[in-house]
Amino acid sequence: MKKRPGSRRIILKAPWEIEKLRAANQIVAEILHELKESVKDGVTTAELDRIAGDRISQKGARPAFKGYHGYPACTCISINEEIVHGIPSDKKIINKGDLVSIDLGVILDGYYGDAAFSCFAGQAPTEQAQRLLHVTKEALYAGIRRAKARKRLGDISAAVQDVAESQGFGVVRKFVGHGIGKALHEPPEVPNFGVRGSGPVLKKGMVIAIEPMLTMGSYEVEILQDGWTAVTRDRSLAAHFEHTVAITDKGPDILSDGFI
């Protein structure tokens, strides 16, 4: 999602706020798990978005993306060379072997949840395409393992980049992770590339969304005419995984755990 300008102050969350964020993120995780099971040959992205909207309402939450900067849907569903922000449509039919990325956000009691995953509709078309998925997820968890109090934000970014580039994949620079709380996007930005030991010190109470976006080719991006859908410039496949994570004295706490 595009980010609104605002204060650059990092907001630390109290324990009770982290539990509010956990509740919102668990709704996201439950819905993403259902959507993953629903990604099949012949389904439209609009059908998946309607499932998400129904479940959000049933759980007493609100969609975080719908209406944000004018975005028209509850989910972002991106296929193959689409990286992020694909708009669901009844004309967009998922075919066997497609790489499908789904990003979902909700608001519950004033606090936000945000997470994403990629999967194939059926089997991956090639071994390298399957590796892209595996390495993107591996990069996410490498970043999460560095999300520890008294470390630096750049430690997370460098860990993601190291995993991706060591396996020959591109790391998208245009879109980054972010802080999250009573707003969908809060400081700090969490790039998927960077230098160890750089950036803000990670502190107990910080809550961040870590979201690697990797490509099978160049990391360069184009935005389609709809003003939202981001695609790889070379039209290579792209994958996207995201978790919302709280920084604690005991290490990273994955608030959106349970769907990947």
pLDDT tens across 171-222, in order?
999 999 999 999 999 999 999 999 999 999 999 999 999 999 999 999 999 9
Backbone angles phi, psi at 125, to 5 degrees: -70, -25
Q: Residue 8 — pLDDT band, cuts 50, 70, 90?
A: confident
Query: How high is the pLDDT of residue 3?
Result: 59
Query: How high is the pLDDT of residue 5?
Result: 42
Stretch 88-97: mean pLDDT: 98
Q: Residue 260 — pLDDT band, cuts 50, 70, 90?
A: confident
Q: Is 139 helix (H, G, I), strand (E, B) or coil?
A: helix
Query: How high is the pLDDT of residue 6?
Result: 46
Stretch 71-82: mean pLDDT: 98
- Which helix (H) or strand (E) segment holds residue 238: the answer is strand 238-240
* CA dist., res. 96 & res. 10, Å (int): 43
Examine the pLDDT at 49 and tell me if it is beyond 90: yes
231 contacts 220 by C-beta, under 8 angstroms: no
pLDDT digits (tens, 9 = 90+) for 109-146: 999 999 999 999 999 999 999 999 999 999 999 999 99
**Cα angle 19-33-124, degrees, rounded to a multiple of 5:** 135
Examine the pLDDT at 71 and tell me if it is beyond 60: yes
* CA dist., res. 84 & res. 103, Å (int): 8
> Could you tell me what percentage of the chain is helix, strand and coil, using 3-state DSSP and rounding each to the nearest 5?
30, 25, 45
Query: How high is the pLDDT of residue 7?
Result: 53
Q: Residue 2 — pLDDT band, cuts 50, 70, 90?
A: low
* CA dist., res. 204 & res. 215, Å (int): 32
Predicted TM-score (pTM) of this structure: 0.96
Examine the pLDDT at 255 and tell me if it is beyond 70: yes
* CA dist., res. 163 & res. 65, Å (int): 30
Examine the pLDDT at 101 and tell me if it is beyond 50: yes
Pairing mode of beta strands 177-179, 230-232: unpaired
Examine the pLDDT at 223 and tell me if it is beyond 80: yes
> How high does pLDDT run on average in the chain?
96
Nearest residue to 212 via CA among 24, 124, 84: 84
How is domain 15-254 classified at the architecture level of CATH?
Alpha-Beta Complex (3.90)
Stretch 65-79: mean pLDDT: 98
- Spell out the long-range contacts of 32-39 with Cβ–Cβ below 8 A and sequence spacing 24 or more: 32/102, 32/104, 32/115, 32/116, 32/117, 32/259, 32/260, 33/258, 33/259, 35/75, 35/102, 35/104, 36/102, 36/117, 36/119, 36/259, 39/94, 39/100, 39/102, 39/119, 39/121
